[in-house]
Amino acid sequence: MSPDIIFAGVVNGLMAGGIYVLVATGLTLIYGVLHIINFAHGSLLMLAMYAVFFLFRPPLGLDPYLALPLVTAGAFLMGYVLYRGVIGRLSHGRDENILLITLGLSIVADNVALFLFTGDTQTIGVAYAGNYISLGPALVPLPKLISFGASMLICALLGLFMSQTDMGKAIRAVAKERQGARLVGIDVENIFAVSYGIGIACLGAAACLLMPFFYVSPSSGHVFVLIAFTTVVLGGMGSFGGALAGGLIIGVVESLAGLQFGEQLGQLGIPLVFILILLLRPTGLFGRQ
Amino acid sequence: MLEVRGLRAGYGQIEILRGIDMQVGAGEIVALLGSNGVGKSTLNNNICGLYRPFAGRILFEGEELTGARPEAIVARGLIQVPEGRRVFPNLSVRENLELGSYCRGKPHRAANLERVVTTFPRLRERLVQKAGTLSGGEQQMLAIGRGLMAEPKLLILDEPSLGLSPLLVEEMFALIQRLNAEGLAILLVEQNVVQSLAIAHRACVLEAGVLAMSGTAAGLAANTDLRRAYLGM
Ligand SMILES: Nc1ncnc2c1ncn2[C@@H]1O[C@H](COP(=O)(O)OP(=O)(O)OP(=O)(O)O)[C@@H](O)[C@H]1O
Ligand SMILES: [Mg+2]
C-alpha cells in the first residue's frame, strides 16, 4: 500500500472511530458508576436512530443535526426514567438483577421495533450526504467528518462536566465509594439514574450523527454495541480515556484491515487486536492492574 | 440536641441494638464505648439514615429523623465521619473537600476549605493528590475535613484515631476538644477509652445491644466495673 492510501485509511478510520468513542463512553460511564454492563445499549441506540429517522420524515422534516439537542435531551430523559421506573425499582440493589433487566429491556425493545417498523433497513436522504472534504490525500464524506468532530466535542464537554461540576464529581464519587457519598448527602439513587441518563444521552447524540450516513433497522444497534463492548474492554472498563483511545484504535484497525484484506476479512482485524492487547495488558489500555 | 429513644436496629433478621436510649446535648462531647462488634457503628449508621431502624425514634433538634433519607439528615447538620474513612479514592483531596459541602455549607465552600486546610496543613500540600494515595492518617484528616465542610451542628466521629500513630492520636484528641470548644457537639466512638473519657462530658457503654452504663465521663472513668472490662485494671 502506498503511504497516501495508508494515510487515507487512517483518517477514515479515525472518522469512523468518533462514533465508537461516543457509544463506548456511554457504556463505560454506566459500567463505572453502576458496575453493570448495559445490555440494552444497542437497542436504545437503535430506538434513538428511529427517532431521528421519524423526525426527519414529513411532516416534521427535521435535519438530524438540528434534532441533536432534542434527541439527546430526550434520550437522557428516557434513560433517567427507565432507571427510576424500571431498572432501579426491579433490581433491589443487586447488580446481577440489573444485568438481567437490561438484557430483558433489550429483547423487548428489539421486538417492539421489529413489530412497529418491520425488519426493513431505512435511511434518510440528506442533501449533503454526497459531499466530500479532502484532508490532504484523504477524501472524507462530510457527514463522517461532522460525526467525528461532534463526537470529540461532546466527549470533551462531558469531561468538563465530570471534572468541574458538583454533579460530575458526585458521579465519580458514587462510582467508587457509595457509602461515603451518602454520608456527604449525595442522593445515590438519583446519581445512578442521572448516570444512566447520560449514558443513554450519548446514544441519542450518536444516533443523530450516524443517520446522515448510516441505515437503521431493528438490529442496527448491535453493530455498534459489539464494537463498543470491545472498545470498553480494550480501553479498560470504566475508563473515559480508555473509551477514547479504544474507539479510535478500533476505527483505524477496522479501516486499515478493510483496505488490506477487504471488507469481509477485514472485520477480523478488530478481534485480533483486541486479543493481542488483552494478552499484553489484561486490564485494558487504561485499566488499573 | 440528638435524642435516641428505644432504638432497635440490626441487619435482616438479626437484631443488634435492642432498645437504645441516648442523648447528646448542645456543646457536649459524648463518648460511646463498647467492645468490637457490639453495634456502635450500627447505631451511628442508623442515626445517619444509612439503615432503617426496626423500632424506636431518632430526634434531632426536636425534629423527627427516624427513617429520613441520609441527604435530609446531612442537610440538617448531623454529619458522620465514618469508620474506615470512606473518602473518595479516585477524587483529589480538593474535590473530596468540595463534595463535603455538596448539600450543606455550599455558600461558604471557599472559606470553609481554607479553614480545613489551615487546621490540617498536610492536606494543603496535597490538594491535587488523589485521596486513594494518601497515607491512612492523612485520609483520616481528610475524612474529618470533609465532614467539617458541611458545617456540622453535631459531628459523629467513628473511631477517628484508628490506625494513627500515638503522636497523631494526641493531636486528634486535641483537635476534637478544640472543635468542641468552638461549640460543636460531638458523639465520639472510640477504642481509646482513657483518652475519650478524659475529653468527654458524658459517656455510655454499649453491651449486648443495650447501654449497660452511662453517666458523666468522670464517673465512668472511676467505675471499677468499666475499668476491669475495658482497661484490664
Ligand atoms: N452490613 C451488615 N450486615 C450484616 N451484619 C452486619 C453489618 N454490619 C455490621 N454487622 C454486624 O453487626 C454487629 C455490630 O457491628 P458494628 O460494626 O456496629 O460493631 P462496632 O461496635 O462498630 O464494632 P467495632 O468496634 O469493631 O467497629 C457485628 O456483629 C457485625 O458483624
Ligand atoms: Mg465500628
pLDDT by residue for chain A (289 residues), tens digit each? 788 888 999 999 999 999 999 999 999 999 999 888 899 999 999 999 999 999 999 889 899 999 999 999 999 999 999 999 998 888 777 777 888 888 999 999 999 999 999 889 999 988 888 899 988 888 899 999 999 999 999 999 999 999 999 999 999 999 999 999 999 999 999 999 999 999 999 999 999 999 999 999 999 888 888 888 888 888 887 788 889 999 999 899 888 888 888 877 777 877 887 788 888 888 877 776 5
Q: Return the number of CB contacts < 8 Å for A and B.
A: 69
* Strand, coil or helix: A52: helix
Cα B229 to the chain's mean position, in Å?
Answer: 23
Cα dist from B173 to B12, B19, B21, B166, B170, whole Å: 36, 30, 26, 11, 5
- β-pairing verdict for A138-141 and A132-135: antiparallel
Who wins on pLDDT, B191 or A92?
A: B191
Please tell me the distance from the alpha carbon of residue B1 to that of residue B191, in angstroms, as a whole number: 24
Q: What contacts B216, CB < 8 A, 6 or more positions away?
A: B201, B202, B203
Which ligand 1 atom is the nearest neighbour of the CA of B51? 1
Q: Which residue of A has its CA nearest to B151?
A: A184
For residues B205 and B33, is the Cβ–Cβ distance under 8 A? yes
Q: Which of A92, A165, A183, A288 to mutate to test the interface with B (most CBs of B within 10 A)?
A: A183
Q: Which atom of ligand 1 is nearest to the CA of B42?
A: 18
Ligand 1 atom with the shortest distance to the CA of B34 = 21
The single-letter code of the amino acid at A48 is: A
- Read out DSSP for B115-172? HHHHH-HHHHHTTTSBGGGS-HHHHHHHHHHHHHTT--SEEEEESTTTT--HHHHHHH
Parse chain A into domains and list their residue ranges: 3-221
Q: Would the CB atoms of A184 and B150 count as touching at under 8 Å?
A: yes
CB A36 within 8 A of CB A102: yes
Instruction: With beta carbons less than 8 A apart as the criterion, state whether B2 and B59 touch.
Output: yes
Strand order in the sheet with B210-216: B78-81, B154-158, B185-189, B29-33, B202-207, B210-216
| Lowest model confidence (mean pLDDT) among A205-214, A222-231, B46-55, B62-71 | A222-231
Look at residue A288 in the predicted model and tell me its pLDDT. Answer: 62
Whether the CB of B82 is below 8 Å from some CB of chain A: the reply is: yes
What percent of chain B is helix, strand and coil (3-state, nearest 5)?
A: 40, 25, 30
Q: What ipTM was estimated for this complex? A: 0.95
Task: With residue A157 as reference, give the H or E element that holds it.
Answer: helix A142-164
Q: Shortest CA distance to B134 belongs to which of B147, B122, B145?
A: B122
Q: What is the dihedral of CA A12, A15, A19, A20, to 10 degrees?
A: 60
Partners of residue B17 on adjacent β-strands: B9
Is 60 exceeded by the pLDDT of residue B233? no
Rounded to the nearest angstrom, the minimum Cα separation between A135 and chain B is 40
* Better-scored residue on pLDDT, B70 or A136: B70
Does the beta carbon of B36 lie inside 6 Å of ligand 1? yes
Q: Cβ(A221)–Cβ(A109) under 8 Å?
A: no
Q: What pLDDT was estimated at residue A261? A: 83
* Domain residue ranges of chain B, discontinuous segments joined by +: 1-77+153-233, 81-152
Question: Measured between alpha carbons, how far is B98 from B80 in angstroms, rounded to an integer?
Answer: 16
- Measured between CA atoms, how close is A273 to chain B, in angstroms? 29
**Choice from B7, B8, B11, B210 to test ligand 1 binding pocket (greatest atom count within 8 A of CB):** B11
Helix (H) or strand (E) holding B188: strand B185-189
Query: Which one of A202-206, B31-35, B205-209 scores highest in mean pLDDT?
Result: A202-206
Residue located nearest, by CA, to atom 4 of ligand 1: B11
Three-state DSSP class for B10?
strand
SS3 (DSSP) at B20 = strand
The arithmetic mean of pLDDT across residues B101-119, rounded, is 96
In degrees and rounded to multiples of 5, residue A186 shows phi and psi of -85, 130
| 3-class state of residue B215 by DSSP | strand
Between CA A82 and CA A93 the distance in angstroms is 15
In this structure, the dihedral spanned by the alpha carbons of residues B147, B152, B154 and B158, taken in order and rounded to 10 degrees, is 0
Say yes or no: CB of residue B11 within 6 Å of ligand 1. Answer: yes
* Of A14, A68, A108, nearest in space to A211 by CA: A68
* Partner-chain contact B91 A172, CB within 8 Å: yes
Report CB contact under 8 Å: A184, B82: no
Q: Is the CB–ligand 1 distance for residue B34 below 6 Å?
A: yes
173-202 of A, contacting B, C-beta below 8 A: 173, 175-177, 179-187
Which of chain B's residues have a Cβ under 8 Å away from the Cβ of A169? 91, 95, 98-99
CATH 3.60.150.10 fits B1-77+153-233, yes or no: no
Contact list in A for residue B113 (CB cut-off 8 A) is none
B41 lines ligand 1 (CB under 6 A): yes
* Over residues B32-57, mean pLDDT: 95
